[in-house]
């Protein structure tokens, strides 16, 4: 159960480097009737067993055992009826023995060590040697763990105080027969812990044995990190960790665990915070900084004790990153998002049907790890389209709405959080951070919403933006029942939504086609020859935002993605802002995949022209990966490494081979979009020219690359056959730039060249049209699903014919999803 709520999580299978998956609650309950009581958690009889990854947490006055997912802090009840003899009371000082794969814990009602197998039932052990008149201990140890050291098959318990002659201090309980100690014999290691030979009573509540170095470690209530030598009870203070971090890391840490990398996890009782600090695998303590970080928020309890196999990894489950186990929602900002960065992550609560019950907006999707921007988790979906079987893109960053623009220096910025709470959770809340200083860190002092309670439905809230904030940055919103004072770490429920925002001075913004929508520009790239009209030689998605004050544009933002390249020609991509000159521009920046591009995108104006042209990429192939098979592999596979022609192979059948030649136009070829850019242009003061999206996006030939036999004889380029920047393709009837070689449209050599179908006539303002009026580039005002490689546009979108034949009067939405034939559409 989740914190006593009547909802369960569909749990993913964790990384299984062990032979037998430990039992989660559902599995345990289903199998309890067939499991043999008292069996170890994994079968080590053949020597192949390795550890379960679960952490076990014992809580409550009447012991309950939980399975804790350290990644999320999520937990599920394994057993609330651990005693078989009617006893009631606590279990404490728990540890997992990597030697026999049992849990051991001190049983308060029995005042002895108990062994716990995979049925989660307590088996009290009969000890010998304890210092009491009866021969059995008469106190309750609340600190302990099982040793991980080779040859030290023992469980250690500790209770502070002067143990000289009493039962306090550090004790060792032999778990098997050894040369020194009989099985279950208990002997005192030290009457008290010592630091530099002097008694040291630590305010600790659990210890955890390191996976390899043989020491136990503990964090006291003051955040001091201690190393304990189990052979003599001496301790070494490694760090005052509170000095290393800005947030509060003090408290009662009732549960401690290690993982295989030597990371120590320690859980604070009062709020369930699970911190992580790297101890490392080396015993060299002189070079470490011991900076703890909040790792997850787990269950709070006044009484905790933890146990975990220290040799097991704390790792995300393995599987298909695109589909499969998706029960964790990660943020996707370009920082503080991935699991390796302890990124924000939320468990997805689901009902019995697997439907999510506690999230923001209309959608939530899970990932195996963050799809860090510029990657996107939008394609990671299982909601198969009923009509064409494709997997539609779903944007789950849809729960936070900016009802007003974000204005610097204003406290009236209105945000709406749309909450879905079918789980009936009473304490839902939202926290949010904005990276105002663009440091690529959500700093603690950049938290703009602090655990604000929210109800199901729309929740209006206001956010204050500092006066010195400006421009594009990232915001993170977290929704959970847990208290969220950190932009990182895991929580067991809710959702994280990261989004790019833009802070303005209170400007008017017009978006084309909308603030989050895209328009598509699709090219055939063999002008002046007729194309095959699959319209995918180059496909760009574009969004333009124009910012203005007093009716005059102050800046333009263009966001774009290169969605497809179904061509082998090397092409560049650029955007001209019609009617705007270089002298109108005060500054500009271009980022590709969230990284600034050093080279300025603005082309220098020619002597006779100063038009503003921005080169996005001189060769889009520089950023793209078309497939997984390289040419050598293809040749090897098809021709056995021989010259293709010398083999006599039927090269025509190449068309039947599954080879990724292009980028995202062939089935299975190309993953998520590899090239995303953002162009920002600030106009000079006093700029007052009208500008209008979609501006003039165009394709040009990459300099130095072959672009067809027509240009063999063209000496204007540095290389024969390579017209380079002299060659452009624009939308129909859009004039080329001043950099275009006008002779390509006016010289009879080119116009009369065999096969040319170009009917451009600059004198009549006719450009880039065939002799039947068809274009080489079209704009589709949507994020368009373009045809597969080599499939005619009319096959994919039959109503395009009616649209053309009526000059656009009919079938105005010929490009919509409902009008397409999915057989001929590219799907990734």
* Span 672-711, contacts to another protein by CB under 8 A: 690, 692-694, 704-709
From residue 366, alpha-carbon distances to 298, 345, 357, 633, 674 in Å are: 20, 10, 13, 35, 21
Residue 163 in tokens? 């143990």
Stated as kind and residue range, the H or E segment containing 194 is: strand 194-195
- The residue (of 628 and 667) whose beta carbon lies closer to another protein is 667
In this chain, which of 64, 110, 570, 730 binds another protein, going by CB under 8 A? 570
Q: What is the DSSP string of 389-449?
A: --B-------SEEESS-EETT-S-EEEEEEEEETT--TT-EEEEEE-TT-SSS--GGGEEE
Rule CB under 8 A: say whether 514 interacts with another protein. Answer: yes
Q: Which stretch binds another protein (CB under 8 A): 45-53, 119-127, 330-338, 793-801?
A: 793-801
CB 595, min distance to another protein, A? 24
Q: Which part of the chain contacts another protein (CB under 8 A), choosing from 1-9, 203-211, 299-307, 514-522?
A: 514-522
525 binds another protein (CB under 8 A): yes
The one among 537, 584, 696, 726 contacting another protein by CB under 8 A: 537
DSSP per-residue codes, 25-84: HHHHHHHTTTSPTT--SS--TTS-------EEEEETTTTEEEEEETTTTEEEEEES---S
Nearest to another protein of 299, 405 (CB atom): 405
Q: Are 70 and 297 in contact (CB under 8 A)?
A: no
Single residue of 293, 738, 766, 827 touching another protein by CB under 8 A? 766
Residues 597-656 that bind another protein (CB under 8 A): 631-632, 634-635, 643-645, 651-652, 654-656
**Burial code of 618-635, b = ≥16 C-beta within 10 A, e = fewer?**
bbbbebbebbebeeeebe
Cα gap 391→135, rounded to integer Å = 68
What phi and psi values does residue 803 have, to the nearest 5 degrees? -60, -45
Taking CB under 8 A as the binding criterion, the range among 53-61, 123-131, 262-270, 510-518 that sits at the site for another protein is: 510-518
Binder of another protein out of 318, 392, 719, 819 (CB under 8 A):
719
Asked whether position 246 contacts another protein by CB under 8 A, the answer is: no
Under rule CB under 8 A, residue 528 binds another protein? no
Maximum pairwise Cα distance, the chain = 115
Q: Report which of 341, 342, 206 is spatially closest to residue 266, judged by C-alpha positions.
A: 206
Which two three-digit tokens encode residue 786?
A: 């373009």
Considering only the stretches 86-94, 567-575, 587-595, 676-684, report the one whose residues sit in contact with another protein under the rule CB under 8 A. 567-575
Binder of another protein out of 531, 670, 723, 736 (CB under 8 A): 531
Out of 125, 208, 241, 793, the only residue in the binding site for another protein (CB under 8 A) is 793
- By C-beta, is 176 or 813 nearer to another protein? 813
Q: Tell me which residues in 439-458 interact with another protein (CB under 8 A).
A: 458
| Interactions with another protein, residue window 742-761 (CB under 8 A) | 755, 759
Footprint of another protein on 768-787 (CB under 8 A): 769, 772-775, 778-782
- Does the protein bind another protein through residue 526 (CB under 8 A)? yes
At a CB cut-off of 8 Å and minimum separation 6, what does 653 contact? none
Nearest to 269 by CA among 118, 60, 433: 60
Q: In this complex, which beta carbon is closest to another protein, that of residue 165 or of residue 506?
A: 506
**Residue range at the interface with another protein (CB under 8 A); choices 93-101, 183-191, 312-320, 660-668:** 660-668
Q: What is the nearest approach in angstroms of another protein to the Cβ of residue 377? A: 17
- Residues in 799-818 that interact with another protein by CB under 8 A: 800-801, 804-805, 807-808, 812-813, 815-816
Going by DSSP bridges, is the β-strand pair 611-617/571-581 parallel, antiparallel, or unpaired?
antiparallel
Q: Is 722 in the site for another protein (CB under 8 A)?
A: yes
């Amino acid at each position: 159960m989740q914190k006593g709520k009547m909802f369960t999580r569909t749990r993913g299978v964790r990384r299984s480097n062990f032979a037998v998956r430990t039992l989660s609650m559902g599995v345990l309950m289903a199998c309890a009737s067939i499991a043999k009581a008292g069996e170890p958690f994994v079968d080590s009889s053949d020597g192949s067993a390795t550890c379960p990854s679960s952490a076990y947490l014992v809580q409550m006055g009447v012991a309950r055992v939980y399975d804790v997912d350290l990644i999320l802090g999520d937990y599920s009840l394994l057993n609330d009826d651990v005693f078989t003899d009617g006893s009631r009371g606590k279990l404490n000082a728990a540890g997992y023995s990597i030697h026999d794969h049992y849990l051991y814990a001190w049983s308060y009602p029995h005042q002895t060590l108990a062994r716990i197998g995979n049925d989660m039932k307590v088996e009290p052990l009969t000890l010998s040697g304890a210092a009491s008149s009866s021969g059995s201990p008469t106190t309750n140890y609340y600190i302990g763990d099982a040793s991980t050291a080779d040859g030290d098959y023992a469980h250690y318990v500790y209770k502070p105080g002067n143990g000289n002659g009493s039962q306090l201090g550090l004790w060792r309980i032999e778990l098997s027969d050894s040369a020194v100690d009989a099985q279950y014999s208990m002997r005192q290691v030290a009457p008290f812990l010592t630091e530099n030979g002097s008694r040291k009573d630590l305010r600790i509540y659990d210890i955890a044995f390191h996976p390899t170095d043989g020491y136990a470690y503990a964090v006291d209530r003051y955040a001091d990190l201690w190393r304990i030598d189990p052979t003599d009870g001496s301790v070494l203070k490694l760090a005052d960790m509170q000095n290393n971090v800005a947030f509060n890391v003090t408290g009662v840490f009732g549960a401690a665990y290690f993982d295989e990398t030597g990371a120590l996890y320690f859980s604070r009782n009062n709020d369930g915070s699970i911190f992580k600090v790297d101890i490392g695998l080396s015993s060299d303590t002189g070079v470490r900084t011991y900076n703890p970080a909040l790792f997850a928020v787990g269950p709070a309890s006044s009484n905790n004790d933890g146990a975990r196999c220290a040799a097991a990894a704390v790792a995300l489950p393995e599987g298909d990153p695109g589909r499969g186990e998706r029960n964790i929602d990660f943020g996707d900002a370009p920082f503080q998002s991935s699991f390796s960065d302890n990124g924000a992550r939320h468990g997805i609560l689901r009902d019995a049907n697997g439907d999510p019950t506690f999230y923001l907006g209309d959608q939530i999707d899970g990932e195996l790890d963050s799809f860090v921007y510029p990657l996107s988790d939008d394609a990671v979906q299982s909601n198969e389209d009923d009509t064409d079987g494709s997997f539609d893109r779903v944007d789950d960053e849809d729960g936070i709405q900016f009802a007003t623009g974000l204005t610097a220096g204003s406290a009236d910025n209105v945000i709406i959080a749309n909450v879905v709470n079918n789980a009936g959770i009473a304490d839902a809340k939202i926290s949010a951070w904005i990276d105002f200083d663009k440091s690529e860190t959500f700093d603690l002092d950049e938290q703009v919403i602090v655990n604000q309670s929210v109800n199901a439905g729309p929740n209006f809230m206001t956010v204050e933006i500092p006066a010195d904030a400006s421009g594009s940055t990232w915001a993170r919103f977290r929704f959970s029942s847990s208290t969220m004072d950190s932009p990182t770490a895991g929580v067991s429920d809710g959702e994280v939504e990261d989004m790019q925002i833009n802070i303005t001075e209170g400007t008017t913004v017009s978006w084309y086609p909308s603030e989050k929508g895209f328009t598509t520009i699709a090219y055939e790239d063999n002008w002046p020859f007729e194309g095959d009209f699959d319209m995918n030689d180059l496909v760009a998605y574009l969004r333009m935002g124009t910012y203005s004050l007093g009716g005059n544009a102050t800046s333009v933002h263009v966001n774009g993605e290169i969605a497809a390249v179904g061509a082998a020609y090397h092409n560049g991509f650029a955007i001209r802002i019609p009617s705007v000159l270089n002298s109108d521009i005060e500054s500009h920046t271009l980022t590709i995949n969230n990284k600034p591009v050093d080279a300025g995108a603005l082309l220098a104006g020619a002597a006779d022209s100063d038009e503003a042209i921005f080169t996005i990429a001189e060769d889009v192939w520089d950023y793209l990966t078309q497939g997984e098979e390289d040419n050598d592999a293809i040749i090897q596979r098809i021709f056995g490494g021989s010259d293709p022609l010398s083999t006599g192979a039927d090269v025509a059948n190449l068309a039947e081979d599954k080879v990724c030649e292009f980028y995202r136009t062939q089935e299975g070829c190309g993953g998520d979009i590899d090239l995303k850019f953002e162009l920002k242009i600030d106009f000079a003061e006093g700029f007052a020219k009208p500008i209008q999206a979609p501006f003039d996006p165009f394709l040009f030939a990459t300099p130095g690359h072959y672009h067809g036999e027509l240009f063999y004889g063209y000496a204007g380029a540095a290389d024969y056959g390579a017209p380079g920047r002299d060659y452009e393709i624009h939308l129909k009837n859009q004039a080329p730039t001043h950099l275009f070689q006008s002779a390509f449209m006016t010289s009879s050599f080119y116009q009369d060249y065999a096969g040319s179908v170009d009917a451009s006539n600059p004198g009549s303002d006719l450009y880039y049209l065939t002799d039947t009026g068809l274009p080489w580039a079209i704009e589709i005002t949507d994020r368009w699903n373009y045809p597969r490689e080599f499939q005619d546009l009319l096959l994919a979108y039959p109503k395009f014919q009616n649209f053309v034949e009526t000059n656009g009067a009919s079938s105005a939405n010929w490009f919509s999803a409902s009008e397409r034939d999915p057989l001929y559409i590219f799907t990734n």
